[in-house]
Amino acid sequence: MRPVNLDNAVWMLTGLAAVVVLLTRMRLSNENQQSGHALVPRSIVNAHTVMGVVALAVWIYYLTSPDDLVGVIALVAWWVEVAIGLLILGRWLSRPGKHAADATGDSWAQGPALSILGHVGMLLGISFFTWVVIADKLST
């Protein structure tokens, strides 16, 4: 029986993670155009984007030349990114009256559904990445 190669799944999830980082930045980048979701200080949006880009870059480097230390560094960056994202999402969901702007037209989605999908998906994806690194499942 041929062993399962998870490399393709890891690369696909890496691409999806890049999309989530990009879309989150686009959606939160202009405070004046936010549609009924948490008004997030620009410094937090920037930290979220920078951590996403750093995590993505280190992760891709790890995937192209697997080194256990680089994998661990990438995972730490991913987990910081996920934590920031979930805190932003939690702020939006927990106190929409205090932290949210009035809802305006949003061509992407109404309410938090898209953000929940993206951030919970990232949590699951990074959990999978963690298992891949810890269990040493990448082909070398």
Q: What is the pTM of this model?
A: 0.80
Mean pLDDT score of the chain, rounded to an integer?
A: 81
Q: CA nearest 125: which of 58, 57, 79?
A: 79
- Residue 139 domain flag: no
**For residue 99, what pLDDT band results from cuts at 50, 70 and 90?**
very low
Decide: 59 and 82 in contact? Cβ < 8 Å: no
- Return the closest-CA partner of residue 68 out of 137, 140, 139, 136: 136
Helix (H, G, I), strand (E, B) or coil at 33: helix
Structural domains in the chain (count): 1
Q: Is 1 contained in some domain?
A: no
Identity of the residue numbered 110: Q
Residue 31 lies in a domain: no
Per-residue confidence band for 10, with pLDDT thresholds at 50, 70 and 90: very high
Cα distances (angstroms) measured from residue 21 to each of 36, 44, 94: 20, 13, 22
The partner residues of 38 in beta bridges, in order of sequence, read 100
Assigned domain for 58 exists? yes
